[in-house]
């Protein structure tokens, strides 16, 4: 198997936007230098490889950092040669390139940057963050976009001005935070009134009936590198069985769920190695996260009502709820 190449040092990344960020303690402006320094309370924030950091280096999402640095390129459209991320973003959100062009977009929990790449290509001004070291995979792949601002920060403490974004995107993140309701409600503080959002979150009804939940209490305690080695060994053995079962007419998708490896047959990836890489990545992604709390439709409806969001639609797509609308 050939996972993505190691993260190279990035020399292109623009950094002249650093002083547009705010202190996460007092909200005041930051002075940019070798590190960022709050002009009021004196708090300082390091800059690692051009990426300002507002969280401890070692945090609960270390497994994600490991995963995305192992698979820096796997899911990027520019690497797969297929518009998988672009199609998912555009069809889930219903937005057009023309609507995004020149707008301020906030992307929450960007991982290796599969959607960062798509957003940057629209010509939007993209601000992206992730709590983990995945930001270094992202900057290595997308740091050449002059319209990207990337920071390592947590949803709960963001260094941005409130209500400063026109669009908000958050895919695959909220269920992996320790307090999903708080995370959901916090990100809306950064969207301007009238701004539009598209968020997805695991659907409880699908996720909780998956056999991976029987193993996860154990596997999430295994150090990332060790768990990854196990996943790398298991996937080539079980994926053929999963593929065979998934080909059974009608019952296929249900039968394949009995085999605890991720199967991306539905994406139309034809190359065997590519299929295996995606499977290793997503099987690890199932078993490693410290937190995974899928949500019910009723809970999502309550939160959107409490936030007085408008034109809300909550649609189930495969194992996810896609929530979109206007603030």
Ligand X SMILES: C[S@@+](CC[C@H](N)C(=O)[O-])C[C@H]1O[C@@H](n2cnc3c(N)ncnc32)[C@H](O)[C@@H]1O
The side-by-side arrangement of strands in the sheet containing 125-130 is 148-152, 125-130, 104-108, 165-171, 191-202, 320-326, 310-317
**Residue with smaller CB distance to ligand X, 3 or 172:** 172
Question: Residue 271 contacts by C-beta under 8 Å, 6 or more apart in sequence?
Answer: none
| Run of H or E including 119 | helix 114-121
Binding site for ligand X (CB under 6 A): 61, 64, 68, 109-111, 114-115, 130-132, 134, 154-156, 171-173, 176-177, 285
Closest contact distance (angstroms) between CB of 155 and ligand X is: 4
**Residue with smaller CB distance to ligand X, 166 or 285:** 285
- The string of DSSP codes covering 217-251 is HHHTTS-HHHHHHHHHHHHHHHHHHHHHHHTSTTT
**Residue with smaller CB distance to ligand X, 245 or 277:** 277
**Residue with smaller CB distance to ligand X, 172 or 252:** 172
**Residue with smaller CB distance to ligand X, 109 or 260:** 109
**Residue with smaller CB distance to ligand X, 17 or 156:** 156
- The string of DSSP codes covering 275-308 is HHHHHHHHHHHHHS-S----B-HHHHHHHHHHTT
Closest contact distance (angstroms) between CB of 84 and ligand X is: 11
Measure the CA–CA gap between 126 and 117, rounded to whole angstroms.
10
Closest contact distance (angstroms) between CB of 60 and ligand X is: 7
Of the candidates 247, 278, 269, the one whose C-alpha atom is nearest the C-alpha of residue 70 is 278
Closest contact distance (angstroms) between CB of 320 and ligand X is: 11
Contact 140, 7 (CB under 8 A): yes
Closest contact distance (angstroms) between CB of 237 and ligand X is: 24
Which residue lies nearest ligand X, judged by its C-beta?
Answer: 111
Contact 245, 255 (CB under 8 A): yes
Contact 24, 52 (CB under 8 A): no
**Residue with smaller CB distance to ligand X, 216 or 255:** 216
Closest contact distance (angstroms) between CB of 252 and ligand X is: 25
Contact 52, 36 (CB under 8 A): yes
**Residue with smaller CB distance to ligand X, 64 or 228:** 64
Closest contact distance (angstroms) between CB of 33 and ligand X is: 25
Measure the CA–CA gap between 234 and 230, rounded to whole angstroms.
6
Rg (CA), the chain: 19
Question: Residue 231 contacts by C-beta under 8 Å, 6 or more apart in sequence?
Answer: 280, 283, 284, 287
Closest contact distance (angstroms) between CB of 139 and ligand X is: 14
């Amino acid at each position: 198997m050939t996972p993505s190449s190691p993260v190279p040092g990035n020399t292109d990344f623009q950094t002249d936007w650093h002083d547009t960020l705010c202190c996460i303690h007092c909200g005041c402006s930051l002075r940019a230098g070798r590190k960022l320094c709050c002009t009021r309370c004196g708090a300082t924030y390091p800059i690692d490889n051009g990426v300002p950091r507002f969280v401890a280096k070692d945090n609960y999402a270390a497994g994600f950092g490991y995963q995305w640095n192992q698979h820096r390129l796997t899911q990027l459209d520019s690497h797969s040669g297929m518009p998988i991320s672009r199609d998912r973003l555009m069809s889930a959100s219903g937005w057009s390139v023309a609507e995004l062009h020149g707008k301020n977009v906030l992307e929450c929990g960007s991982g290796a940057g599969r959607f960062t790449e798509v957003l940057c290509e629209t010509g939007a001004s993209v601000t992206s963050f992730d709590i983990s070291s995945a930001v270094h995979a992202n900057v290595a792949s997308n740091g050449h976009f002059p319209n990207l601002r990337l920071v390592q920060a947590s949803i709960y403490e963001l260094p941005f001005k409130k209500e400063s974004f026109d669009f908000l995107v958050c895919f695959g993140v909220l269920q992996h935070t320790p307090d999903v309701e708080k995370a959901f409600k916090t990100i809306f503080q950064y969207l301007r009134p009238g701004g539009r959002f598209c968020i997805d979150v695991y659907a409880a009804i699908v996720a909780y009936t998956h056999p991976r939940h029987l193993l996860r209490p154990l596997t999430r305690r295994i150090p990332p590198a060790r768990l990854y080695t196990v996943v790398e060994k298991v996937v080539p053995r079980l994926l053929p069985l999963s593929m065979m079962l998934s080909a059974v007419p009608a019952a296929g998708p249900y039968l394949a769920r009995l085999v605890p490896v991720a199967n991306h047959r539905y994406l139309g990836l034809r190359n065997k190695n590519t299929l295996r890489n995606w499977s290793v990545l997503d099987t690890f992604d199932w078993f490693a996260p410290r937190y995974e709390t899928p949500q019910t439709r009723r809970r999502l409806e309550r939160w959107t009502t409490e936030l007085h969001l408008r034109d809300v639609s909550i649609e189930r797509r495969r194992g996810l709820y896609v929530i979109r609308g206007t603030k």
